[in-house]
Amino acid sequence: MLLPLLLALGTPAHAIPARPTEPPTAPPSTVYSGRQRELDVRLPRLEAGVEIDGRLDEPVWAQAALLTEFSQYAPMDGVPAQDSTEVLVWYSPTAIHFGIRAHEAHGAVHATLADRDRIGGDDYVQIFLGTFDDGRQATLFGVNPLGVQEDGSLVETGRVQSNGFNAATVTREAPDLSPDFIFQSKGRVTASGYEVEVRIPFKSLRYQGRAEQRWGINVLRRVQHSGYEDSWAPARRAAASFLGQSGRLVGLTDLRRGLVLDLNPVVTQRANGGPDSLGQWDYHRDHADVGGNVRWGVTNNLTLNGTVNPDFSQVEADVGQVAFDPRSALFFPERRPFFLEGIEQFAVPSQLIYTRRIVQPVAATKLTGKVSGTDIAFLSAVDDTLSSFTRQYHPMFNIVRVQRDVGAQSRLGLAYTDKLDGADFNRVASVDGRIVFRSLYTAQFQVAGSRTRLGPRTDDGPLWNAAVARNGRAFGFRYALSGIDPDFRALSGFISRPGIVNSTVTHRYTLFGAQSSPVQSLTTDLTLYGTWNYRRFTRRQDAMEKKAHVNLNAALRGGWQAGGSVLVETFGYDDALYADYAVALPTAGGGVDTVPFTGTARLPNLDYVLSLNTPQFKRFAGSAFVLWGRDENFYEWASANIVYAELHADWRPTEKVRVSGQYLHQQFDRRTDGSTVGLRRIPRLKLEYQIARPLFVRVVGQYDAYREDDRRDDSRTGAPLLIYDPEVGDYVRALGFATNDFRADWLVSYQPSPGTVIFAGYGSSMEERQALRFGRSLRRTADGFFVKVSYLFRV
């Protein structure tokens, strides 16, 4: 009974219509040319309403302001856009309205019926509204040609867009698509391209407490067949800020936001299965969890959120990751709705705030907003005993983040986090800043300190970093130095690798071709890295790791991306990592002597990297990243031949079906005899069927095959390695092993708007002896069913 009801409630499927004859366009009252830098836009305020149907034929649209004459932003800025885009804008007392006409004369429109925030493979338009007019942050509203939505926020912090192996090319910072906002949109493909109609209620926005508003605005259009990105405001890539180059909506008056009060009750039910003591399969059904969220707009610019027993978020397994260095922890993003709203306000350099540390909160409250040029964010939560050091107490988290605008683009920030766990605690205080000068240069700094008490011991430690960068169109550089004391702890944050000092020196140069050239841009850079043990750095001793990466990246005509790198590195022996290792050396009398493992002083590396990204074709997109060469073997601290590959493919056979595949491969072969010491393979396949805009079915399968050989002292004696086992109280052989785990997740989701959702899912974990055999050899180890129902009541 449920599925027919959902189908009846859902939006009908959007087949791409035949190309009808377009109605004549009425002349707008005012035209604002981006190319002519007519960037101060005065919108008409109209006491009118329209039906959001994707047709801009109501008389009110003839009175709207018109934003036109876009410029290309990527891959080459400063030239006129090849495809014409018109954006009509007006506002009523309760909402702002956008009408988009995207003309397409050079290729086919890419449009699919996607899930929310999954329109990256389609043509799309993004609207950036900087409602606080500070040139530093904006709310993002995106739509594809069928009106499918994406939304999020962009807070510019000076993050470097690089994966560490290829060139850090000049580009705008990526928005965070985690937050969801309520707005209406609908679109259609037309004879000349596509049209989309968008209505954004003022209830979904935070803005200044002024009688007359002034907002930043920019509109970006992505044209997938060419790979071009066009901007209404003629933004330059050689600038420290993308948002700082936006236009302005001026003279907005009498905005009626009204009472903003959202109530979001949530009910979840789970049943988990597994073998009992007799080997029989048994299910345990939990009691239904009842919780909820509340959101109150205290003022136009301050929002108070509260939650009791917030719902779970794991509707599928985290995407598998591999670690290049066992000393570095892996990062997994936040997914829980309560913590996602306003998450951009808690962004701190060095990730000193990481809300996934709050494991299973009993209750939490949050206040976010901006007052007189100061961003304020406060979070307080009572967690389950699962996150307690002793499992006896309910830890209490208190997190504060304050940021103050300075000048046109600069900013200063404070952060404080406090985790109380009975008599134990962890407290972190931080000061940071970003200074922009001459619109091209940025300087950033951060100084933080922590105090941690665990039992009878109390530790204090500092964290610090500084960087200066030039973001030139052709030439750029970045110099950075950061350090984390071994005693620095951030139990409300995420520190990937403590106790080290890192230095980075990067010089970059970019050449640009003509618009008709096969190579649109070519970027090369040389990056030098140094990593010290923190104590050795303070004693002015040699670096543990020294790296020189030479990178080359090319943006090719039609949206292709290609890159290559040569990595020259040396890694020094880390005695702390191998403190529990020993070598089993034979004695003259036929016995075995346990000798402490010392390791080779330095390992030289020479690696090569190739990468290729296809354009977003109408039905397909793919990418490949391959690294190979001589690299460090952390299993045995010896040189190895490494192969690392990451392959992605997205296939859209119809406008409703998406198939996404990913394969990760990491392999270490000993250079002495070619034997494999470590091998990990992670294939992942996701199939989605979008029945209607609010309704989809998803199936995800992920296999994780890991194999490790018996460890030996490969770089010196060849003798077996031993690792101290505290449970045994002695050294034991580091024997090889293999794990082959498969996880399958099924989900049916009905989500007509953020906050209103019905999830029904099933997940199963399996294992087998031989890798990637599937079939009857798979043995189920655990599974579970879940249902989640929530409804958003908006007052």
C-alpha distances (whole Å) from 621 to each of 163, 373, 435, 702 are 20, 42, 39, 20
Q: The tokens of 460 are what? A: 């204090």
What is the average per-residue pLDDT within 242-250? 95
Rounded Cα distance, 337 and 451, in Å = 31
For the segment 638-674, what is each residue's pLDDT rounded down to a tens digit? Answer: 999 999 999 999 999 999 999 999 999 999 999 999 9
In the predicted model, is pLDDT for residue 161 greater than 60? no
Name the least confident of 140-144, 164-168, 211-215: 164-168
Q: Would 226 be classed as within a structural domain? A: yes
Rounded Cα distance, 260 and 252, in Å = 20
58: CATH: 2.60.40.1190
Position 701 scores a pLDDT of 95
Q: Would 93 be classed as within a structural domain? A: yes
Phi and psi (nearest 5°) for 719? -80, 160
Rounded Cα distance, 516 and 526, in Å = 28
Rounded Cα distance, 629 and 608, in Å = 6
If one counts every other C-beta atom within 10 angstroms of the C-beta of residue 108, the result is 12
Give the chain's mean pLDDT. Answer: 90
Position 138 scores a pLDDT of 94
Type of residue at 360: Q
Find the length of the chain.
795
DSSP conformational letter for 356: G
Q: Answer yes or no: are the C-beta atoms of 109 and 145 closer than 8 Å.
A: yes
What is the average per-residue pLDDT within 760-777? 88
What is the torsional sign of CA 145, 149, 153, 157? negative
Q: Would 45 be classed as within a structural domain? A: yes
Predicted confidence band of residue 96 (pLDDT cuts 50, 70, 90): very high
Q: Would 143 be classed as within a structural domain? A: yes
Q: Answer yes or no: are the C-beta atoms of 111 and 146 closer than 8 Å.
A: yes
Position 443 scores a pLDDT of 95
Triad 650, 170, 433: Cα angle to 5°: 115
State the residue for tokens 């709207």: 64
Q: Would 728 be classed as within a structural domain? A: no
- Write the Ramachandran bin of 69: left for phi over 0, alpha for psi from -120 to 50, otherwise beta: left
The answer for residues whose C-beta is within 8 angstroms of residue 680's C-beta and 6 or more apart is: 322, 664, 665, 666, 667, 704, 705, 706, 707
Position 171 scores a pLDDT of 67
In the predicted model, is pLDDT for residue 23 greater than 70? no
Rounded Cα distance, 552 and 550, in Å = 7
Position 589 scores a pLDDT of 79
Rounded Cα distance, 252 and 427, in Å = 43
Task: Residue 139: name the closest of 88, 96, 187 by CA.
Answer: 96
Triad 384, 388, 391: Cα angle to 5°: 85
For the segment 685-743, what is each residue's pLDDT rounded down to a tens digit? Answer: 999 999 999 999 999 999 999 999 999 999 889 999 999 999 999 999 999 999 999 99
In the predicted model, is pLDDT for residue 16 greater than 50? no
DSSP conformational letter for 23: P
Phi and psi (nearest 5°) for 716? -135, -80
For the segment 192-229, what is each residue's pLDDT rounded down to a tens digit? Answer: 999 999 999 999 999 988 899 999 999 999 999 888 99
Q: Would 580 be classed as within a structural domain? A: no
CB-neighbour burial class of residue 326 (10 A; exposed 0-12, middle 13-18, buried 19+): exposed
Task: Residue 694: name the closest of 618, 748, 654, 763 by CA.
Answer: 748
Rounded Cα distance, 434 and 349, in Å = 10
What is the average per-residue pLDDT within 314-332? 72
State the residue for tokens 């140069």: 509
For the segment 393-422, what is each residue's pLDDT rounded down to a tens digit? Answer: 999 999 999 999 998 889 999 999 999 999
Type of residue at 491: L
- The more confidently predicted of residues 569 and 75 is 569
Number of domains in the chain: 1
Position 665 scores a pLDDT of 97
What is the average per-residue pLDDT within 539-552? 94
In the chain, the N- to C-terminal Cα span, in Å, equals 30
In the predicted model, is pLDDT for residue 522 greater than 90? yes
In the predicted model, is pLDDT for residue 301 greater than 70? yes
C-alpha distances (whole Å) from 166 to each of 505, 546, 568, 648, 667 are 14, 17, 14, 17, 21
Position 2 scores a pLDDT of 35
Q: Would 126 be classed as within a structural domain? A: yes
In the predicted model, is pLDDT for residue 548 greater than 60? yes
Position 415 scores a pLDDT of 98
In the predicted model, is pLDDT for residue 165 greater than 60? no
Position 318 scores a pLDDT of 61
**Helix or strand holding residue 572 (H, E):** strand 561-572
Position 5 scores a pLDDT of 34
Q: Would 318 be classed as within a structural domain? A: no
Predicted confidence band of residue 287 (pLDDT cuts 50, 70, 90): confident
In angstroms, how far is CA 531 from the centroid of its own chain? 26
Q: Answer yes or no: are the C-beta atoms of 467 and 443 closer than 8 Å.
A: yes
In the predicted model, is pLDDT for residue 519 greater than 90? yes
* Whole-number percent of the chain with pLDDT over 70: 93
Position 310 scores a pLDDT of 80
- Number of helical (H) and strand (E) elements in the chain, helices listed first: 3, 45
Predicted confidence band of residue 75 (pLDDT cuts 50, 70, 90): confident
Type of residue at 252: L
Print the domain residue range for 208. Answer: 11-253
